[in-house]
A = this chain, B = another copy of it.
Amino acid sequence: MPSSLRDVARKAKVSTGTVSNVLNRPEIVAPETLARVRKVIDELKFVPNGFARHLRSGQSRTIGLIIPDITNPFYTEVARGAEDAANKHDYAVFLCISDTDGAKETSYIGVLLEQRVRGVLIAPTDDAHKSVELLRSHHVGVALLDHKSVGSQECSVSVDHVRGGEIAIQHLADLGHKEIVWITGSEDYRQCVDRGIGVANIAERAGVELTIIPLKILNTSTGEEAAKKVMALEKRPTAIFCANDMLAFGVMRELLRMGIKVPQDISLIGYDDIYFAPTAAVPLSSIFQPAYQLGFTAAELLISECEDTGEHQHKQIVFDPELVARSSTAHVSTMRTVRVMEDISA
For A48, A50, A73, which residue has the most chain B Cβ atoms within 10 angstroms? A50
Per DSSP, are chain A's interface residues mostly helix, strand or loop, or mixed? mixed
Q: Is there an interface contact between A280 and B281, defined as CB atoms closer than 8 Å?
A: yes
Q: Is there an interface contact between A114 and B48, defined as CB atoms closer than 8 Å?
A: yes
A2-B138, A51-B116 given; A71·B70 CB < 8 A: no
Q: Is there an interface contact between A115 and B276, defined as CB atoms closer than 8 Å?
A: no
User: Smallest distance from the beta carbon of A75 to chain B beta carbons, Å?
Assistant: 10
Indicate which residue in B51, B139, B279 contacts A51 across the interface (CB closer than 8 Å).
B51
Q: List which A75-106 residues lie within 8 A (CB) of chain B.
A: 76-77, 79-80, 83, 92-95, 97
Binary flags per residue of A262-279, CB closer than 8 Å to B gives 1, else 0: 000000000000011011
Interface with B: A30-38, A192-200, A248-256, which one?
A: A248-256
Chain B hits for A95, CB < 8 A: 93-95
A52-B55, A83-B97, A97-B83 given; A47·B114 CB < 8 A: yes
Q: Is there an interface contact between B249 and A279, defined as CB atoms closer than 8 Å?
A: yes
User: Smallest distance from the beta carbon of A221 to chain B beta carbons, Å?
Assistant: 10
Chain B hits for A93, CB < 8 A: 95
Q: Is there an interface contact between A114 and B50, defined as CB atoms closer than 8 Å?
A: yes
Q: At the interface, yes or no: A228 with Cβ under 8 Å from chain B?
A: no
A36 to B95, CA, bound (A): 35
Beta-carbon nearest neighbor of A107 in chain B:
B87
Q: At the interface, yes or no: A158 with Cβ under 8 Å from chain B?
A: no
For A54, A113, A137, A279, which residue has the most chain B Cβ atoms within 10 angstroms? A279
A129 to B76, CA, bound (A): 29
Chain B hits for A17, CB < 8 A: none
A194 to B174, CA, bound (A): 53
Binary flags per residue of A110-141, CB closer than 8 Å to B gives 1, else 0: 11011110000000000000000000011100
Q: At the interface, yes or no: A49 with Cβ under 8 Å from chain B?
A: yes
Beta-carbon nearest neighbor of A111 in chain B:
B92
Indicate which residue in B53, B70, B113 contacts A79 across the interface (CB closer than 8 Å).
B70
User: Smallest distance from the beta carbon of A60 to chain B beta carbons, Å?
Assistant: 8
A284 to B118, CA, bound (A): 44
Q: Is there an interface contact between B138 and A47, defined as CB atoms closer than 8 Å?
A: yes
Chain B hits for A316, CB < 8 A: none
A53 to B279, CA, bound (A): 50
A71 to B1, CA, bound (A): 36
Q: At the interface, yes or no: A283 with Cβ under 8 Å from chain B?
A: yes
Q: At the interface, yes or no: A156 with Cβ under 8 Å from chain B?
A: no
Q: Is there an interface contact between A279 and B278, defined as CB atoms closer than 8 Å?
A: no
Beta-carbon nearest neighbor of A256 in chain B:
B279
Chain B hits for A83, CB < 8 A: 97
28 contacts between A and B (CB under 8 A): A1-B139, A2-B113, A2-B138, A45-B137, A45-B138, A47-B110, A47-B113, A47-B114, A50-B51, A50-B114, A50-B115, A51-B51, A51-B55, A53-B114, A55-B55, A70-B79, A71-B76, A71-B77, A73-B73, A76-B76, A94-B94, A94-B95, A220-B275, A249-B279, A253-B278, A276-B276, A279-B280, A280-B280
